[in-house]
Amino acid sequence: MTHRNVLGSTAALAVAAPVLIGATYSALAASGLVGVGARGFTLEGAIRVLTAAGTWRSVAWTFATAGVATAIAVVIAFVLAVRFHSSRAGRAAAMLPMAVPHVAAALAALLMLGQSGLISRAAYALGLTSAPADFPELVYDRTGVSLVLTFVWKELAYLTLTAMAVLLTGTRELEEVARTLGATARQAFWRVTVPQLWRGTAPAVIAALAFLVGQYEMPALLAPSDPIPLSLLTLERATDPNLSRRGEAHVLALLALAIAAVLVIVHASSQARAERGRG
């Protein structure tokens, strides 16, 4: 093994070590061997969590809101990147939301979109509603509208900057080559620019989706209590007065880790198939 490979392996292990250590501890705690409330090896807590309908309703709702928000953010990011990738002002504007903490973004959404928020009061002042409370319920609603919108706004900057970087690394030149070979502007865009954008931003998209699945601050302020987001359900179990249920929080944490791992594996396998196809 070369010196470079040794350094690369060491760096990879250092990055993965916290995850591996945490997952190992959670596995031991989930089986009742360590942690608060540990009483010896048992899988009762894990079975109870994994067979509960509420757990999978929480997972489905969490994944749905994160997935919809990521999809919307990707589409908008691609449009903004194509339109403003060569503009310094555009790149600077895209960076602004990155400086806003997630909890601040959620609080702003709460103050704007709530039934007593700024938009509802403006609608009442304009005569669009008979009272601020008549404004559509966008916060704590089961559809998660305010949460999705806040997710989109926060992840848009990250995805837009990534897409802009992809466009500045030769994608435009490939589009021009396609045009010289007879492709129309629309054909070049859909057959060259969009595939290149997707290949270049796919890792960032997967990272954004995995992050939103495990996000806590924004769901804590904007999400409903039924279905409860996965991160809040995990905290609920971790702070349960019944110590015998504390291990269930570790089961839920491992479930969230498994979801992230599946996303990474699916992306890696699709990338490998694409590489074989190009080869």
Range of the domain at 148: 56-278
- State the chain's mean pLDDT as an integer: 84
**Two tokens, residue 89:** 């002002």
Q: Mean of the pLDDT values across residues 111-118?
A: 84
Q: What was the pLDDT predicted at 276?
A: 67
Q: Determine what percent of the chain is predicted with pLDDT higher than 90.
A: 22
Residues sharing a CB contact under 8 Å with residue 82, sequence separation 6 or more, in sequence order: 167, 189, 193
Q: What is the mean pLDDT of residues 263-270?
A: 81
Look at residue 11 and tell me if it is in a domain.
no
Three-state DSSP at 98 gives: helix
What's the CA gap between 277 and 279, in Å, rounded? 5
Domain CATH number, residue 136: 1.10.3720.10
In a domain, 38, yes or no: no
Domain assignment of residue 83, yes or no:
yes
Residue range 116-130: average pLDDT?
A: 83
In which residue are the tokens 């953010």 written?
73
Average pLDDT for residues 252-277, to the nearest whole number? 81
Q: Is 73 exposed, middle or buried (0-12, 13-18, 19+ CB in 10 A)?
A: buried
Is the residue at 126 inside a domain? yes
Res 115: pLDDT: 80
Q: For 142-159, what is each residue's pLDDT tens digit? A: 888 999 999 999 999 899
| 36-75 pLDDT tens trace | 777 888 888 888 899 999 899 999 999 999 999 999 999 9
Instruction: Provide the domain count of the chain.
Output: 1
Please report the pLDDT score of residue 1 as a whole number. Answer: 55
pLDDT at 268: 80
Residue 170 lies in a domain: yes
Residue 3: inside a domain: no
